[in-house]
Amino acid sequence: ADLSKLTQGGAPRWDKTLVTKAVHGTAKKDSPYAIDYITWPDDNPYKSWMRFGGFDFFEGGTKAAICTWSGDVWIVDGIAPGEIMSELKWRRIATGMFQPLGVKIVDGDIYVSCRDQITKLVDLNGDGETDFYQNFNNDHQVTEHFHEFAMDLQTDKDGNFYYAKSARHARDSLVQQHGTLIKVSKDGKKSQIIANGYRAANGVGVGPNGEFFTSDQEGHWMPANRINLVKQGSFSGNMYSYHMGDKPKDYDRPIVWLPKQIDRSPAEQVWVSSDKWGLPKNSLISLSYGTGYIQHVMYEMVEGIDPNVYVQGAFHRLPVQFPTGVMRGRFHDGDGQLYTCGLFGWSSQQTRPGGFFRVRFVGKSYPVPTKFLAATDGIVLEFSEPMDEELAEDVGSFLVEQWDYKWSGSYGSPEFKLSDGSRGRDKIDVKAAHISKDKRRIWIEIPKLQKSMQVRIKYDLETKTGDVLTDDLYGSIFVIPDRSGAAMLEPAAE
């Protein structure tokens, strides 16, 4: 039999192009950001549930491929970077995949991270629709458990792929991949586990120097939500993830813990690759599935003090909130703005089924903290702009609290005081506050600062130009380097 005709592709099954009208957003009062809606066709002839788990741009940036958690991939055209978007054209090109939660486009080819495999979508006859769902890599170890999502899809500079495999909920692992970050070779022929100890690492972030980041969710063996800087072989604390040999007695600390009141379910981490988006270029942000917000994350390498600590930092919330849980984000090379997509599928405060958005910076300036540095006698904060000296040196401008969590098999952890171990937070006395010569650093003097899993610094400040800066910053101090705040006050001494 001549089988060649079966390798040429067939007539399209979804030949309708659906047209939507983009919504150009305006910034809320005092916000430097506006959200544009890349309006999606909720009312479509296929009754496709538009809950988006991942996307990527094609070359040129006017088109994107975006997947739905129910199993579709759509192409949306008309994105118009740097301009007001108007008409958007949507076309369904694939369906039937197993809970896809990540998309990556490489050399024009679409790769989709599903729960059972990474699928390459192949259009054999050039009609725009997928004819062949190619198994690129199916080393995925899948059991029946509902919780073991395969999250995100990213590549490194060498073209290798990465995704995170969740563990089972409240149950021990059955396969080696439960609770791991997995690397797949560029050709798809082999995979390896990079790190483990995750409960539900919803997203993989890649930094400009090849750094990898993940988040994780409060739950069993996870006292609070966390953001991780990944090291080869690191263990992030979930004892229900797979262990070769004896189970560990301790775990590697995150960059920072996130109180559930602030972010109940963090998702992907994204590097700011543009100098057009308000934050300093190469800043790190973390998207929130649970609240629809964006967090700005600062961190410092602190290796050589504690074998389970190599990084620590802090975060604060940006004034941007989406109507759905934000899962994935990418900065556009064309306009330098952030594009995000998300969904509502499990517990979240933001319950719109899904959405695709552009976040535009519309402010003239946006003063933010850029560094969080612990010292033996306090905490030094650095800001992106010079600060007003009078408010910066007023101890009444700062409220400082510290507390710990308990790492155990229980679901999450209460807050515990450092002072006596009872539930709650310790309010920390600030002896004095000092500002640097360039007015960008503030040393919050706290004699005999203690380590803590969580510290909150609420501040009420102004810049030299009169911009009000009132915020809550949440950090983690796992180790205290042998240095003084006075020495750290001037940047040259760092």
User: Which pLDDT belongs to residue 493?
Assistant: 55
Q: Taking the CB of residue 6, how many other CB atoms lie within 10 A of it?
A: 11
Give how far Cα 55 sits from Cα of 103, 112, 207, 287, Å. Answer: 5, 9, 18, 15
User: Which pLDDT belongs to residue 492?
Assistant: 66
Q: In the block, which residue shows the tokens 């171990």?
A: 421
Q: Taking the CB of residue 246, how many other CB atoms lie within 10 A of it?
A: 6
Which segments of the chain have a pLDDT < 50?
A: none
Instruction: State the pairing for strand pair 87-94/225-229.
Output: unpaired
**pTM of the model as a whole:** 0.96
Q: In the block, which residue shows the tokens 């042998």?
A: 482
What residues contact 494, with CB distance under 8 A and at least 6 apart?
Answer: 373, 488
User: Which pLDDT belongs to residue 63?
Assistant: 98
* Residue 18 and residue 91 in contact, taking contact as beta carbons nearer than 8 Å: yes
The four Cα atoms 225, 230, 236, 240 give a dihedral, to 10 degrees, of 100
Beta bridge partners of 315: 297, 474
User: Which pLDDT belongs to residue 116?
Assistant: 96
